[in-house]
Amino acid sequence: MEAHSVRGRIWRYGPVIIWMAFILLASSSGFSAINTSRIIRPLLVWFFPDITEERIKLTHFLVRKAAHVTEYAILGWLTARALSTSSQKYLRQGWFLAGLLPILSVALVDEYHQSFVLSRTASVYDSAIDIAGGLLGLLAFAYLRHRIIGGRSSAYSPRE
């Protein structure tokens, strides 16, 4: 059966691992506020020539927080996709709750790592935003899965 094969596992879990690596890479100095402002600020000034410095700072802040939500929503989705099709029955049945573990782990490790990067700041609030984004991804997957399957399955019941 494909679900039990090495290829099947790579197909399911490979994207999750790659995305986790991307998230941890993004917590490096290369993605610090100073560096992202070099991209966001010129774009804002180009699109809105009369924008104030205060608006630039607020927009930059909001874009960065939206990036947190988005990257963890993608992690939640990929995790849900992998676990809901697992060859292990307990993972298939409990994919939603099991999907929280990698989201929580990466969010906490990400912020912990940032505490050692001089150009980054670690924040429990960012972890909360990350976890909310991951939950959003899990919930979106559950919703669409329910819609596609037609109510025969939910996030908390086994797929038979």
> Is 113 a residue whose pLDDT tops 90?
no
Mean pLDDT of the chain: 86
| Token couple for 55 | 């608006």
15 pLDDT tier (thresholds 50, 70, 90): very high
Q: What is the mean pLDDT of residues 118-147?
A: 90
Q: What is the mean pLDDT of residues 26-52?
A: 82
Q: Give residue 152's pLDDT.
A: 53
Distances from the Cα of 117 to the Cαs of 39, 48, 98, 120, 122, in angstroms?
21, 33, 30, 5, 9
Count the Cβ atoms, other than its own, within 10 Å of residue 153. Answer: 18
150 pLDDT tier (thresholds 50, 70, 90): low
Q: Which of 159, 156, 16, 157 is nearest to 82 (CA)?
A: 16
